[in-house]
Structure 1
Amino acid sequence: MFRIPVAGGHAVVIVHRNCADDHGVDHLVTHRDRHGAHPVEEASVTWSGLVRVADSPDPSAEGVQDQAARLLLLRPRLGGHALPDDAAGALATP
Structure 2
Amino acid sequence: MNPGTIRRLILTLATGYLTIFGVRQIPYEFENEWLVIIPALVLVYALTVWVEGLIFKEDAPAVEAKKKPKAKLPNKSTQGFGAE
**TM-score over 0.5 for the alignment?**
no
Q: Which structure has the larger Rg over C-alpha atoms?
A: 2
Higher relative contact order (CA 8 A, sep 6+): 2
> With structure 1 as the length reference, what TM-score do the two structures score?
0.22
> With structure 2 as the length reference, what TM-score do the two structures score?
0.23
